[in-house]
Amino acid sequence: MKAARRPHSPRVEKESSMTPRKKLEGLVAATVTPMTPDGQINLSVIHQYVDYLVSEQNVKNVFVNGTTGEGLSLSIQERKQLAEEWICQGKNKLDHVIIHVGALSLPESQELARHAAAIGASGIAVMAPFFFKPTNKDELIAFLQKVASEAPAVPFYYYHIPHLTGVKIHVEELLDGIKKQIPTFQGVKFSDTDLLDLAQCISKNESKQFAFLYGVDEQLLSALAIGANGAVGSTFNYLGRKTNLMLQAFAKPDLPLAQKYQFLTGEFLNFVIKLGFGVAQTKAVMTFVSGIPMGPPRLPLVNASEEFIIKAKAKLDGIVWPDGD
């Protein structure tokens, strides 16, 4: 099968915003990158993907080209095409389209940041470079600053994912004076289990100028208790509606109900993690839940096994949710 053609050309918009800008909070789906059976990016299903997230999962924010999106396995050209398609299809439907523009090469990351700004992304995010790594806070901020300054009107998020980047600099350390170095700094996607670091970040953020979005879905409730503003995660692609009910229960507050949702999403994740769970498996789960063909992952990732799919589906179908589903 041939790669789906890009249906439109890049559009440069004067204002870097999708819809009137709301603060980023609540759930953000870390999108998978749909691929054709022969491994090309498949832009043709993104329209359907947007509608599915909004109408079936009640999720109106997306994080594109991140870990789940295999962003670091895509070419620069593919990343641009995907960013354009998400922004185009999300227009008047999604609240926020955040584009991950991190790369090992600074000029490539800068190019992606300029591109995201030109097409009207509602935010950009950058993870730490992870081959040659920054060894301290100053080196990391210097890199982030060089990328952020290429998109001076676009909110900037640091993407903290130390178990994948190997860059374990505490976020709390980064925050001191960061607005002076990165005026567009808006918050952190915090994908680590170190809730002490998260709590220190939140307690330092007294004026609530920054957003802290948690990224370990199976323990989101703990992060909410400590004051996280929302979450970016892969499971909100297919458990967005249930996780939204957890957020509502927490806000009410009905802690026992919120716990029940967390226990059940945790039961599913605990089950699949034991089988071996990563981006390939997320694509498979999203395919059987949504009916949208997300296709295979790109090497070095390989397709989820049939056995995984059968077991994961049976597990998910067997969960009895508090809302009676």
Ligand X SMILES: CC(=O)N[C@H](C=O)[C@@H](O)[C@H](O)[C@H](O)CO
**Which residues are marked as active site?**
159, 189
Indicate whether 27 belongs to the interface with ligand X (CB under 6 A). Answer: no
Instruction: Name which of residues 59 to 88 contact ligand CC(=O)C(=O)O (CB under 6 A).
Output: 63, 66-68
* SS3 state at 288: helix
* 30 sits near ligand CC(=O)C(=O)O (criterion: CB under 6 A): yes
Size of the site for ligand X (CB under 6 A): 12
Sites for ligand X among residues 189-218 (CB under 6 A): 191, 215-218
The span from the CA of 94 to the CA of 97, in Å, is 7
Angle in degrees, 0-180, between the axes of helices 279-290 and 306-318, rounded to the nearest 10:
60
CB of 101 to ligand CC(=O)C(=O)O, least distance (A): 12
Determine whether the annotation assigns residue 188 to a binding site.
Answer: no
234, 262, 281, 290: which one binds ligand CC(=O)C(=O)O (CB under 6 A): 234
- 63, interface contact from ligand CC(=O)C(=O)O, ligand X, none, CB < 5-8 Å by kind: ligand CC(=O)C(=O)O
Closest CA to 66 of 83, 90, 45, 84: 83
Cα separation of 117 and 281, whole Å?
32
Asked if 250 and 258 touch (Cβ cutoff 8 Å), the reply is: yes
Binding mask 206-225 for ligand CC(=O)C(=O)O (x = CB under 6 A): ---------x----------
Amino acid, single-letter form, for residue 102:
G
> Is 232 annotated in some ligand binding site?
yes
Q: Which residues of 217-245 are buried (b: 16+ CB within 10 A; e: fewer)?
A: bbebbbbbebebbbbbbbbbbbbbbbbbb
Binding residues for pyruvate are 68, 232
Residues engaged in binding ligand X (CB under 6 A): 30, 67-68, 191, 215-218, 233-235, 269
